[in-house]
Amino acid sequence: MKKIRNVILCTIVLAIILLLTTTTNASNNLTVSDINVVVTNTKAELEWSKANDANGYQVYVDIPSIGYQYVGNVASNKVTIIGFEEGEIYGVKVRAYNENSASSTYSPEIRFKIGEDTQTSSELGTVKNIKAVSNGATGTIEWDKVTNADGYEIYASVQNSDYIDIGSTTSTKVRLIGMDENEVYSIKIKPYLTKSNEKVYGSFSDLAILKYEDEEEEYQELDRVTNLKSSINGDKATLTWNNVSNADGYEVLVQISGHDDATYTVSSNKITLTGFTAGYTYRTKVRAYEYVNGEKEYGAYSSTVSIKIEEEEETVDVDKVTGLKAKVDGTRAVISWNEVSDADGYQIELTKPGYSNTITYSTTGTSKTLTGVTDTDDDYTVRVRAYKNVNGERVYGDYSSKVYFRAEEEETDDVTVNKVTGLKVSMNGSKATVTWNKVSNADGYELSLNIPGTGPDSTYTTTGTSKTINGFTDKDSNYSIRVRAYKTVNGEKVYGDYSTRVYFKNNETSDEENESDVTVSKVTGLDVDMDGNIARFTWNRVSNADGYELVVTDPQKGDTTYKMTTTYANVTGIRYTSSNFTAKVRAYKTVDGKKVYGSYSSKVSFRNTDKDDTDGKDELSKVTGLRATRNGTSATFRWNSVSGASGYEIVLEIPGYGEAKYTVTGTNKTMSGFTTTRYPYTIKVRAFGYINGRKVYSDYSSEVEF
């Protein structure tokens, strides 16, 4: 199913010929008021009214049995679309958008049939309220008049045959005679007007159904479809079921999670479906229908049957690695091999002398450098195999033949390490960046730093040709540094000569404010107002302050400090006590990363005099009265308010996906997207509030399913 839809949509999308031009006028009006379609063979040429201030247009096509699909953007107000299927009826609508990503409402919808060379315009409305009444072999069809229409063309289909033009009329009522027994007639109407001696059409009406009727009988509801079975052959599934008495046909529903449902209509009790995607589970069910007074009446759906096309295991052969070699250079071994066609990577297995366990490495190239090869008496062993990633797993080929190697002894006397040159120091305040020229055979470098008055030099080791060192804060001292290169031979370092020593100082200059020059005034005007167990503090602003520290002293628990940048604070949870709480506040300014404080304000005393306002008041009540109201794919949740709550946390359990959480301040929430009908959703709610700056939750409500 999914594959069928993708093929149809891709065919249309890839066939769009973009006529890129520039739009004119710049205003906020993005309305597209009308749309016209000219059909020639299987090609449709669309043109619509320009929208002021539009940067482009989005085109949507209504594909039979699938629905509207987005197929692309155009900059102009016209486009040509090819790739439609002859005989099918399609719908088209567009909407404009501007550079701010604002979109208009959709244009009027226009419908047209491929294979009929016609011009269709949304200037003509759709025929509405089409009605059909059968009387024996005669049927009457009526509809509402369409403004601007010069006339109407009538099309009929017998027993699901192709529609044919059976005539036109300027009236809004026609009679069909000569209907045969047991045949169903489908009728649709489209209006037209005449321009320059050519007909311009509106969209087709809905279908009206006529069926030979001897006399009106009491309708007997159709039986439920039974014994639905599926038989899978490759990527095809054949469904069969028992016939239902009096049924004119059957409707087959195919569902897959996360996608629109697909429906198929057949006259027999069998259908073969293709295009299933392997690994996905599809659910199918069938119901019967019959025509009663031109309308389809349905029986109940059958039980659901699942269809799943199993994925075919891909057989992959990965060739054996050949040409494995090992080249040793001191304590390094370079392993290389021939490339294996189609391989995604290689796995190297190394065995060290004296160890039974192996070490494995992975690489996507055809070589690997191994370091730490130090054993000169016993052999290292290495082998390599290729792999390919298939369905998220590795498929390996055979290992190569083993290759043996050992470390080569290198005479220390034969190694010469050159002297480091080009040593430079670049200062940035108290930070020094040291650089030098690379020494060709060096494995690393040793830096020797002299800090006056601190004793022996400090040493640093690096493998690169630069090093950044912090902490040079003394602006009066001459620091100095020198560097030498080294090479590791048989586990020992062989050094070259030191570079020339370079001297440097801390060159930091700053016009920032010195801490000793900063004065922060004392806070004045501290006042407190009690509200139950809440103390509300205010004070006067200090001109150069960056913030304030409020110290509240509980007579039984001691001091608590609160920091803020405002000149007010609310402290909750003030317990009832016979002794007074006290508070004081001071301002601060941040200078060179440190806080410089002013003096504390005068203290204020206060207490909670309400004996009923105890610590128990800090606890929030459990949410009650939770209920859910479902409306299609939307749901509205409501619950009772909790005293003292600052907000509520909603926990939604989505079948097959887990929990999702939402936070609201009110006592209701409306959400959409509830498409699953097989399993119930579950919701619960809890309240939360803030006590002394800490978020406190109530117990969850009872869970509600919907």
The tokens 């993005």 sit on which residue? 30
**279 falls in which pLDDT band (50, 70, 90)?**
confident
**Residue 123 exposed, middle or buried by CB count within 10 Å (0-12, 13-18, 19+):** middle
Identify whether 314 is part of a domain.
no
Residues 395 and 423 in one domain: no
Residues 430 and 466 in one domain: yes
Residues 422 and 490 in one domain: yes
Residues 19 and 116 in one domain: yes
* Better-predicted residue by pLDDT, 659 or 649: 649
pLDDT at 549: 94
**258 falls in which pLDDT band (50, 70, 90)?**
confident
Residues 51 and 117 in one domain: yes
Residues 138 and 202 in one domain: yes
Amino acid at the residue 31: T
% residues pLDDT > 90 (the chain)? 28
Identify whether 647 is part of a domain.
yes
**294 falls in which pLDDT band (50, 70, 90)?**
low
Count of domains forming the chain: 7
**What does 36-65 look like in DSSP terms, one character per residue?**
EEEEETTEEEEEE---TT-SEEEEEEEETT
Domain that holds residue 397: 325-405
Helices (H), 285-393: none
**314 falls in which pLDDT band (50, 70, 90)?**
low
Identify whether 175 is part of a domain.
yes
**Last residue of one domain, picked from the residues 469, 504, 539:** 504
Strand 249-255 to 281-292 pairing: antiparallel
pLDDT tens column, 495-523? 999 999 888 887 664 434 444 467 899 99
Q: Are 601 and 586 in contact (CB under 8 A)?
A: yes
Identify whether 194 is part of a domain.
yes
Q: Which of 134-148, 271-285, 638-652 has the lowest mean pLDDT?
A: 134-148
Q: Are 111 and 90 in contact (CB under 8 A)?
A: yes
Identify whether 20 is part of a domain.
yes
pLDDT at 514: 44
Q: Are 74 and 18 in contact (CB under 8 A)?
A: yes
pLDDT at 11: 46
Q: State yes or no: pLDDT of 693 exceeds 70.
A: no
Q: State yes or no: pLDDT of 615 exceeds 50.
A: no
Q: Are 213 and 182 in contact (CB under 8 A)?
A: no
pLDDT at 213: 67
HEC letters along 495-554: ECCCCCCEEECCCCCCCCCCHHHCCCCCCCCCEEEEECCEEEEECCCCCCCCEEEEEEEE
Identify whether 217 is part of a domain.
no
Instruction: Find the helix or strand (DSSP H, E) in which 416 lies.
Output: none
Residues 255 and 268 in one domain: yes
pLDDT at 421: 94
HEC letters along 186-240: EEEEEEEEEECCEEEECCCCCCEEEECECCCCCCCCCCCCCCCEEEEECCEEEEE
The tokens 């205003």 sit on which residue? 27
Identify whether 315 is part of a domain.
no
pLDDT at 221: 83
pLDDT tens column, 668-691? 999 888 877 666 888 999 999 877
Q: What CATH number did the domain enclosing 448 receive?
A: 2.60.40.10
**Last residue of one domain, picked from the residues 371, 389, 405:** 405
**Last residue of one domain, picked from the residues 279, 308, 337:** 308
**434 falls in which pLDDT band (50, 70, 90)?**
very high
Highest mean pLDDT among 62-66, 112-116, 601-605: 601-605
Q: State yes or no: pLDDT of 39 exceeds 70.
A: yes
**CA-based nearest residue to 124, from 31, 61, 193, 171:** 193
Residues 23 and 79 in one domain: yes
**16 falls in which pLDDT band (50, 70, 90)?**
very low
From CA 135, how far away is CA 216, in angstroms rounded? 9
pLDDT at 683: 92
From CA 36, how far away is CA 92, in angstroms rounded? 10
Q: State yes or no: pLDDT of 422 exceeds 50.
A: yes
**Residue 70 exposed, middle or buried by CB count within 10 Å (0-12, 13-18, 19+):** exposed
Cross-strand bridge partners of residue 131: 142
pLDDT tens column, 51-102? 888 889 999 998 887 888 888 889 888 989 888 888 788 889 899 988 887 8
The tokens 């891909």 sit on which residue? 314
Average pLDDT rounded to a whole number, residues 424-447: 90
Residues 236 and 197 in one domain: no
Residues 640 and 679 in one domain: yes
Residues 117 and 7 in one domain: yes
Q: Which of 119-128, 423-432, 615-624, 682-691 has the lowest mean pLDDT?
A: 615-624
**CA-based nearest residue to 201, from 131, 123, 137:** 123
- The CB density around residue 100, as the number of other CB atoms within 10 Å, is 9
**Residue 252 exposed, middle or buried by CB count within 10 Å (0-12, 13-18, 19+):** buried
From CA 633, how far away is CA 649, in angstroms rounded? 22
The tokens 């700056």 sit on which residue? 693
* Better-predicted residue by pLDDT, 510 or 47: 47
Q: Are 131 and 293 in contact (CB under 8 A)?
A: no
pLDDT at 13: 40
Q: How many helices (H) and strands (E) does the chain have?
A: 1, 56
Residues 544 and 465 in one domain: no
Q: State yes or no: pLDDT of 692 exceeds 70.
A: no
As a whole number, the mean pLDDT across the chain is: 83
pLDDT at 598: 92
**CA-based nearest residue to 425, from 468, 458, 459:** 468
Instruction: Find the helix or strand (DSSP H, E) in which 464 lies.
Output: none
Q: Are 445 and 483 in contact (CB under 8 A)?
A: yes
The gap between the terminal CA atoms of the chain, to the nearest Å, is 30
Q: Which of 38-42, 119-123, 198-202 has the lowest mean pLDDT?
A: 119-123
Q: State yes or no: pLDDT of 585 exceeds 90.
A: yes
Q: What's the Rg (C-alpha) of the chain?
A: 42
Q: Are 302 and 285 in contact (CB under 8 A)?
A: yes
Identify whether 233 is part of a domain.
yes
**Half-sphere exposure (Cβ direction) of 537: Cα atoms closer than 13 Å:** 32
